[in-house]
Amino acid sequence: MARKVGIYTRISRDDEGESLGVARQREDCERLADLRNWQAVKVYEDNDVSAFKRNVRREEFELMLTDLRAGLIDGIVAYDLDRLARKPQDLERLIEIYDDRPRLEFATVTNDVNLGTADGRTMARVMVAFANKSSHDTSRRLKRKHLELAQQGKASGGPAPYGWQKGDPEKVDQEAARHIKEAQKELLAGVRIGTIRTRWQEQGLGNPREGTKRMAHHRVTHILTNPRLVGYRTYHGEILYGEDGSPVMGDWETINTVEEWEAVCAVVAERQKSQPGRSLARTYLLSGIARCGLCKSKIRGQTNHKWQPGSKGARYKYQCSKVNGGCGKVARVGEPVDELIAQLALEEQRDRAASADVSPERRWPREQELNDLNTDIAQLIEAEKNKSISVSTLLQVLPEKERQRDELKLDRARFYKEQKQAEAKDDAVDLSLEEFFDLPIERQREIVLHSLSAVFIHPSGRGKRVFDPDLIEPVWRE
Ligand SMILES: [Zn+2]
């Protein structure tokens, strides 16, 4: 069920110059509510030009506070803080409600503050206290211009994003596009963003800031999931939808198909859900896959701190550890175990691929269903526009249709995600052992786990120095 929000608009003195009348404020707010999948159920419109004067009572603002408190609406969308509340008392009353009802929604078109967060509330207090208008006005004018340009599908200036040519942001930079697609493929195959980031930093990819090679984690995520990759226009990082509900397309060259891009986005969203803040870094191929042949507990890799390049002995070993509840009696030098297991897994996958049918790329079977639904929705909205149905009739049927549409879109993303993931995994078939060990460690582990569920390391006799593959027992998946 979509969250119900109220839209607040108000004329202020400086709006005339920008012709930012209530109608345009409302239009912008409604668009923003749409982007967030909120349902704008009511518009509160105050006409006082001077909201800052002490004695002016803003009737609609008061009504909105009452509705918000009563739970008739679940949040507010306004053009900016300046129009919503300029008197500290008004702001405090609003904040009080947000404090009491923590799940309330909040958004402004200019994205200047967010009363939905504690930081945002502090920020709002500061902004209202200083009423630093002149700087806000400048940035608001610029943002408004960006939005207009965005809606027309034009580039709004600024540097070309990674993937497009620096001198000509409408043309794809083939080299960068190749790196993006390669990283997306890795991501689909199970590689962490952090690993991709490290590699990009080493290779100077992703347009790092001048004078540094460091890149933020979220920047890499953004590059790989940027809606621009499929030609979608964004505004404040959100996809912009046109009158007919379809995304506004830019006029630049694209890098991904919608299917590819949705698959990547689905993987990122899923991971953020399943491992918030958790690092998946594992240093050794068989950590947690290997098990002790005696006590059956999981074995991790252990670095030999005395080891140096060129020195004799093991760089790392797999050690059953008492600390982790094991018997502590079994250990094996790491590298030969890894090599043996990698070789076995690759061979098994080659055999399996040779005997399997080649499955052709399939299209998502419910595309027509989604098209029909989109047509339905567009017709309903059109019908309300030319008054053949009422708003309330529209709102009786629309939410369910929208829910079905969103569900279908999710289903499509999942479908292509699984397909792309399967494709990415099949690539292991052609790998040499050397290429395998060049892959990021998560990818190596994925490939091993594709064939094996565990590896038992059996104890070797006393004083036995030579690596004996017979004491390594792979457990194959069914
Ligand atoms: Zn053990």
The residues spanned by each domain of the chain are 4-151, 174-274, 290-306+315-355+429-476, 367-417
Q: How far is the CA of 295 from the centre of ligand 1 (A)?
A: 4
Give the angle 108-114-119 at the CA atoms, nearest 5°.
160
Q: How far is the CA of 473 from the centre of ligand 1 (A)?
A: 15
Q: What's the confidence (pLDDT) of residue 279?
A: 42
Instruction: Read off the pLDDT band of 46 (50, 70, 90).
Output: confident
Q: How far is the CA of 294 from the centre of ligand 1 (A)?
A: 5
Nearest Cα neighbor of 7 from 51, 39, 49, 35 is: 39
Q: What's the confidence (pLDDT) of residue 4?
A: 92
Q: How far is the CA of 145 from the centre of ligand 1 (A)?
A: 67
Q: How far is the CA of 287 from the centre of ligand 1 (A)?
A: 14
User: For residue 104, is pLDDT > 50?
Assistant: yes
Q: How far is the CA of 301 from the centre of ligand 1 (A)?
A: 14
Q: How far is the CA of 461 from the centre of ligand 1 (A)?
A: 15
Q: How far is the CA of 293 from the centre of ligand 1 (A)?
A: 7
CA of 94: how far to CAs of 8, 88, 430, in Å?
13, 10, 62
Is the distance from CB of 437 to CB of 284 less than 8 angstroms?
no
Q: What's the confidence (pLDDT) of residue 166?
A: 84
The residue type of 143 is: K
Higher pLDDT, 133 or 333: 333
Digit-coded pLDDT (tens) for 56-86: 677 889 999 999 998 899 999 998 888 888 7
CA of 54: how far to CAs of 89, 104, 278, in Å?
10, 28, 51
Taking residues 313-339, what's their average pLDDT? 86
Q: How far apart are CA 198 and CA 213, in angstroms?
A: 10
H-helix or E-strand containing 341? Answer: helix 334-355
Token pair belonging to 43: 């518009």
Q: How far is the CA of 283 from the centre of ligand 1 (A)?
A: 21
Instruction: Read off the pLDDT band of 50 (50, 70, 90).
Output: low
Q: How far is the CA of 478 from the centre of ligand 1 (A)?
A: 25
Taking residues 356-366, what's their average pLDDT? 72
Considering the domain delimited by 174-274, tell me its CATH architecture. Alpha-Beta Complex (3.90)
Q: What's the confidence (pLDDT) of residue 139?
A: 54
Q: How far is the CA of 347 from the centre of ligand 1 (A)?
A: 29
CATH topology classification for 4-151: Rossmann fold (3.40.50)
For the chain, percent of residues with pLDDT exceeding 90:
24
Is the distance from CB of 456 to CB of 478 less than 8 angstroms?
no
Q: Residues whose CB is under 5 A from ligand 1 (ion)? A: 292, 294-295, 320, 326-327, 330
Q: How far is the CA of 318 from the centre of ligand 1 (A)?
A: 11
Q: How far is the CA of 455 from the centre of ligand 1 (A)?
A: 13
Give the best-scoring range by mean pLDDT among 7-11, 65-69, 122-126, 466-470. 65-69
Q: How far is the CA of 454 from the centre of ligand 1 (A)?
A: 14
Taking residues 379-404, what's their average pLDDT? 86
What 3 state SS string does 232-291 have? ECEECCEECECCCCCECECCCCCCCCHHHHHHHHHHHHHHHHHCCCCCCCCCCCCCCCEE
